[in-house]
A = this chain, B = another copy of it.
Amino acid sequence: MNLLWRSKLGTPQGTRGPKQRVSVDEVIRAGIAVADDDGLPAFSMRKVADRLGLKLMSIYTYVPGRSELIGLMVDEVIGEIPHPPHPDGPLRDRLAGVARHQWDELHRHPWLLQVESSRPWIGPHGCDRYEWQLQAIEGYGLTDLEMDQVITMVCDFTAGSARTSILARRTTEESGITDLEWWEANAPVLERVMPPGAYPLAGRVGTVAGQEYNAVGDPARSFRFGLDRLLDGVETLLRRTAT
């Protein structure tokens, strides 16, 4: 907690002993670089140390442990790109901006969705984020509770959609083959194994979708489509509230 809010707190420590060779912020940035490159499961304290020219155990003089470092990395990343001011105009466009900001962030740092902390880290940038999200939706006639719920909905949908997108991207990157190549390679097996006519709808829709996407799916397009429907739903709520 003190580490998270370190920018707002002085460093009250006595200054005895050798100077630290790097700073907490450098450790955090090194950690982000490792996670960006290798993903969270392969994120290790040793790799962070290597990247800083330190030995493994020295890292523990900067942060208490692995999970705390990850918590710091999350808040750092949230503050990475300044929140743009919300456009004047319909709520729809403002919420779309909030959603896209998160979508881009999750794609820039795919390991964010792999973070499963059992403690809620509330850092300065996380607070800024929530405040900014609420600014987007305030003043359109919704109650405080509804405002919170709409933000939650937009974020949850964005997270779910981004998860699908990131998984798909990782699949093609790591396996080295495209959707289509995989499908063509496995088609004979599937044809032998699937009872003919057992999946009439899946076959028909899958074929149409596959031709349209030129792949098994098009996550960015699915995100835009879903977000449009979601925002239609919010406008319905606005109209209902107005009466």
| A interface residues with partner B (beta carbon < 8 Å) | 1, 5, 8-9, 41, 113-114, 116-120, 122, 124, 127, 130-131, 134-135, 138, 144-145, 147-150, 152-153, 155-161, 163-164, 167, 170-171, 174-175, 182, 186, 189-190, 193-195, 198-202, 204-206, 208-209, 212, 216-217, 221-222, 225-226, 228-234, 236-237
Contacts and interface: CB of A to CB of B under 8 A. Distances in A.
Task: Provide the main secondary structure of the chain A interface.
Answer: helix
A236 B225 contact: no
B157 A204 contact: no
Contact of A153 (B167, B199, B200, B226): B226
Contacts of A233: 228-233, 236
A120 B199 contact: no
A201 B234 contact: no
Contacts of A153: 157, 161, 222, 225-226, 229-230
A189 B1 contact: yes
B201 A131 contact: yes
A134 B201 contact: yes
Given A233-B236, A237-B229, A131 B199 contact: yes
Contact of A160 (B134, B157, B167): B157
B127 A201 contact: no
Contacts of A8: 193-195
